[in-house]
Chain A
Amino acid sequence: MTTPYTLVDWVLGDGAGWLARFIGAILVWAVPITGFVSFVGLLSIWLERKISAHIQCRLGPMEVGPHGALQTVADGVKLLAKEDIIPADADRILFAFAPMLAFAGTIVGFAVVPFGPGLIVADLDIGLFYLAAVGSLEAIGVIAAGWASNNKWSLFGSVRAATQVVSYEIPMGLAFVTIAALAGTLSMVGIVEQQQGWIANWFLFRNPFTWVAFIIYYIAALAECKRAPFDLPEAESELVSGFHTEYSGMRFAIFFLAEYAQMYVVSAVAAVLFLGGWYTGIAPLDAAIGGGTAGMVVGAGVIVTKSFLLVCVQMWLRWTLPRIRLDQMMYLCLKVLMPFGMLTLVGSTVWEHFLPSPAIVKDGGGWTGNTVMTGVVVAAIGTVALVAYVRSVIRATPSLRAASNS
Chain B
Amino acid sequence: MSAILDAIRAKFPAHVMAVHDRLGQETVTVGADGLRPLVEWLRTPEGGSYEFLVDLAGVDGMNLGWKTHRFEVVYHFRNMENGRRLRVRAALPAVDPHLPTVSDLWRCANWFEREVWDMFGVRFDGHPNLKRILTHHRFVGHALRKDYFVKDQQWLDDGAESLMDELGDYGENPDDGGFSELVPVNIGPAHPATHGTLRILAKLDGETIVKAVQEIGYLHRAFEKHSEVGTWTQVIPYTDRLNYCSAMLNNVAYCAGVERLLGIDVPERCQAIRVIVGEMSRIIDHLVCIGAALVDLGALTNFWYAFAIREKAYVALEGLCGARLTSSYVRIGGVSDDLNPAFIEQVRDFCRELPKAVDDILGLVKKNRIFLDRVVGVGIMPRDEALSWGFTGPCLRASGIGYDIRKAEPYSGYDRYDFSVPTRTEGDTAARFFVRFDEMIESMRIIEQALDKLPSGPVFSTDRRVVPPAKTDVYKNIEALMNHFVLVYDGIKVPKGESYMATEGANGELGFYLVSDGSGRPYRVRVRPPCFPIFGALPRLVEGSMVADAVAVLGSLNIIAGELDR
Contact = CB atoms under 8 A, between A and B. Distances in A.
A373 to B, nearest CB: 30
Contacts of B207: 156, 326
A322 interface: yes
B298 A231 contact: yes
B254 to A, nearest CB: 33
A398 interface: yes
B546 A327 contact: yes
Interface string B531-566: 000000000000000111101000000000000000
B373 A325 contact: yes
Nearest to A390: B367
Interface stretch (B5-13, B133-141, B299-307, B327-335): B299-307
Contact of B183 (A58, A152, A239): A152
Contacts of A326: 207, 546, 548
A322 B305 contact: no
Contact of A237 (B295, B366, B546): B295
Name the prevailing secondary structure of the B interface residues.
helix
Give the one of A56, A152, A322, A328 with max B CB within 10 A. Answer: A322
A322 B374 contact: yes
A324 B374 CA distance: 7
Contacts of B368: 321-322
Nearest to A237: B296
A228 B304 contact: no
A300 B293 CA distance: 44
A366 B142 CA distance: 85
B376 A396 contact: yes
A152 B187 CA distance: 11
Given A323-B297, A325-B549, A57 B304 contact: yes
B192 interface: yes
B308 interface: yes
A400 B364 CA distance: 15
B167 interface: no
Interface string A378-406: 00000000000110110011111000000
B308 A57 contact: yes
B193 interface: yes
Contacts of B373: 324-325, 328
Interface in A234-267: 235-240
B502 to A, nearest CB: 29
Interface in B349-376: 364-374, 376
Contacts of A389: 369
Contacts of B305: 56-57
A231 B297 CA distance: 11
Contacts of B185: 152-153
Contacts of A52: 300-301
A271 to B, nearest CB: 26
A398 B426 contact: yes
Given A57-B308, A325-B546, A325-B548, A397 B298 contact: no
Nearest to B308: A57
B376 to A, nearest CB: 6
Contacts of A319: 300-301
Interface string B80-119: 0000000000000000000000000000000000000000
A58 B369 CA distance: 27
A281 interface: no
Interface in A275-312: none
A45 to B, nearest CB: 16
Contact of A393 (B192, B193, B369): B369
A237 B551 contact: yes
B365 A322 contact: yes
Contacts of A239: 547
B35 interface: no
Contacts of A238: 193, 296, 547-548, 551
A157 to B, nearest CB: 11
Give the one of B207, B305, B371, B434 with max A CB within 10 A. Answer: B207
Interface in B134-189: 183, 185
Interface string A100-115: 0000000000000000
Interface string A118-155: 00000000000000000000000000000000001100
A26 interface: no
A58 B304 contact: yes
Interface string A34-71: 00000000000000000010011110000000000000
A3 interface: no
Contacts of A116: none
Contacts of B369: 389, 392-393, 396
B365 to A, nearest CB: 7
B297 A237 contact: yes
Contacts of B192: 236-237, 240
A341 interface: no
B191 interface: yes
Nearest to B195: A237
Nearest to B296: A237
B241 interface: no
Give the one of A56, A319, A390 with max B CB within 10 A. Answer: A56
A323 B434 CA distance: 19
B510 interface: no
Contacts of B365: 322
Interface string B41-60: 00000000000000000000
A324 B370 contact: yes
Nearest to A152: B185
Nearest to B372: A396
Nearest to A236: B192
A55 B298 CA distance: 15
Contact of B367 (A228, A237, A397): A397
Given A237-B298, A320-B364, A322-B299, 15 more contacts: A56-B300, A57-B305, A152-B183, A228-B298, A231-B298, A236-B192, A237-B192, A237-B551, A238-B547, A319-B301, A322-B368, A393-B367, A396-B376, A397-B372, A398-B426
26 contacts: A52-B301, A55-B301, A57-B304, A152-B183, A153-B185, A156-B547, A237-B298, A237-B551, A238-B551, A240-B192, A321-B299, A321-B368, A322-B294, A322-B298, A324-B370, A325-B548, A325-B549, A326-B207, A326-B546, A328-B370, A390-B367, A392-B369, A393-B369, A396-B372, A397-B367, A400-B367
